[in-house]
Amino acid sequence: MPRAFAPSVSRSENSLQPVPARRPTREEALEAVRTLLRWAGDDPRREGLLGTPDRVVRSYEEFFSGYGVDPVALLQRTFEETDGYDEIVALRDIRFESHCEHHIAPIIGKVHVAYLPNKRVVGISKLARLVEVYAKRLQIQEKMTAQIANTLDEVLQPKGVAVVIEAAHQCMTTRGVHKPGVTMVTSRMLGAFRDDPLSRREVLSMIGTQGGAKLDNV
């Protein structure tokens, strides 16, 4: 479930973490949707819109469910019985749906995740779940890319981590400049994938992108 945050004047100047604010009640959330419907020029009391506030609130519970999951705890269970496997582990084309924090417009795309194990590996479903946790929050793509990579690096402590995200942003395609067909590509490389050009080329080849692949199936 989403948590509401707001700045606090009592916060330490050195703190970078927001202070939790009071979370609105469900009825307050419903009334907020009704207010937006009225602001848009419609009547929330008409038959076709009577159930809209409830549907929107339930949608938000799904869209932003990532706030209720600890991504570090998600990766705690690892496996050491790998028979000495020490090559790249990659999971490609993890589809995700997120929302930009500037316009709450959908971001739809694919994440490619790879790491170079250092004695420990994690179940591949956990990699997909990690992507889901960060996607189900208000996001910008650059931050989401870093969050996934940094969490993998912190928990698994591998020799290298690579995360590449390719996505289409509807805040750019359906409003503003109205430029459909544009793909944004971001990447974060850590460890061997950042320091060793050969390892970097190998993981990019395994992922199957050099930063210019198209999102044909999102």
User: Is 68 domain-assigned?
Assistant: no
* 143 and 169 housed in the same domain: yes
Nearest to 156 by CA among 71, 96, 92, 68: 71
Q: Are 171 and 179 in contact (CB under 8 A)?
A: no
Q: Are 149 and 163 in contact (CB under 8 A)?
A: yes
* CA 87 – CA 158 distance, rounded (Å): 11
Residue from 31, 61, 97, 101 carrying the catalytic annotation = 101
* 122 and 178 housed in the same domain: yes
* 58 and 91 housed in the same domain: no
173-184 pLDDT, tens digit per residue, is 888 888 888 899
* 56 and 82 housed in the same domain: no
User: Is 95 domain-assigned?
Assistant: yes
User: Is 14 domain-assigned?
Assistant: no
Q: Are 100 and 107 in contact (CB under 8 A)?
A: yes
The single-letter code of the amino acid at 67 is Y
Residue from 27, 102, 154, 210 carrying the catalytic annotation = 102
**What pLDDT was estimated at residue 19?**
64
**What pLDDT was estimated at residue 72?**
95
Residue from 31, 61, 97, 103 carrying the catalytic annotation = 103
User: Is 142 domain-assigned?
Assistant: yes
* 120 and 41 housed in the same domain: no
Domain of 191: which CATH number? 3.30.1130.10
**What pLDDT was estimated at residue 99?**
97
Token couple for 135: 């996607």
Structural domain range at position 54:
26-63
Ranges of residues in the chain with a pLDDT under 70 are 1-20, 209-218
**What pLDDT was estimated at residue 209?**
64
Our answer to whether residue 210 is catalytic in this structure is no
Our answer to whether residue 169 is catalytic in this structure is yes
* 81 and 127 housed in the same domain: yes
In degrees, rounded to 5, the angle at the alpha carbon of residue 90 between the alpha carbons of residues 86 and 94 is: 160
Our answer to whether residue 81 is catalytic in this structure is no
* 143 and 86 housed in the same domain: yes
**What pLDDT was estimated at residue 23?**
86
Our answer to whether residue 178 is catalytic in this structure is no
Residue from 99, 147, 166, 169 carrying the catalytic annotation = 169
User: Is 71 domain-assigned?
Assistant: no
* 147 and 84 housed in the same domain: yes
Our answer to whether residue 112 is catalytic in this structure is no
* 118 and 189 housed in the same domain: yes
Neighbouring CB atoms inside 10 A of 212's CB total: 8
* 145 and 186 housed in the same domain: yes
Q: DSSP class of residue 67?
A: G
Show the DSSP H helices in the chain as ranges: 26-40, 52-63, 71-74, 124-135, 141-156, 170-173, 192-195, 197-207
Instruction: Provide the number of structural domains found in the chain.
Output: 2
* 36 and 128 housed in the same domain: no
User: Is 70 domain-assigned?
Assistant: no
3-state DSSP percent of the chain in helix, strand and coil, to 5: 40, 25, 40
